[in-house]
Amino acid sequence: MESIKVIVVEDEYLIGKALKTVLEQIWDGYDVATAFSGKDALALLKKEKFHILITDCRMPGMDGFELAKQALALRDAPQVIFLSALHDQEYVDKGMRLGALGYFKKPALTMEIHHTIQKALGI
């Protein structure tokens, strides 16, 4: 089976790297890239096909919602999961209206994210 390409977008470096490491430890079928801004993530998404986009909601410059809108407009659009330190119902609703697989409050339980990805991809 081909690996599942995931891009983690998080402006907090340590959180982004930690999520990458944990996802790769949970299941060796993940190929996880990281980006630390919406702009950098969008550039990667335009160059490579990713199955899953996991993005922080609040980031300087391009926030996660704008990133998701632009990513979902791509020909090979990834499925989206939002992360946020806030569990504001307005944020949850906004993410779900965009068609997100899920919205997780940081610190997210990585196993829940893993199960969401597996279910969405029919694995």
> Could you give all domains of the chain from N- to C-terminal order, each with its CATH number?
4-120 (3.40.50.2300)
Peptide bond just before 78 cis, omega within 30 deg: no
* pLDDT, tens digit (0-9, with 9 covering 90-100), for 70-109: 999 999 999 999 998 887 888 888 888 998 998 888 877 7
Q: Higher pLDDT residue, 31 or 111?
A: 31
Q: Give the separation between CA 65 and CA 105, rounded to whole angstroms.
A: 15
Q: List the helix and strand counts (H, then E) for the chain.
A: 5, 5
Q: Is residue 1 pLDDT above 60, yes or no?
A: no
Residue 22, classified by CB atoms within 10 Å of its CB into exposed (0-12), middle (13-18) or buried (19+), is: middle
From 34-43, 58-67, 105-114, the region with the lowest mean pLDDT: 105-114
What's this model's pTM, rounded to 2 decimal places? Answer: 0.92
Nearest to 110 by CA among 49, 48, 19: 19
Residue 109, classified by CB atoms within 10 Å of its CB into exposed (0-12), middle (13-18) or buried (19+), is: exposed
* pLDDT, tens digit (0-9, with 9 covering 90-100), for 14-54: 999 999 999 999 888 899 999 999 999 999 999 999 999 99
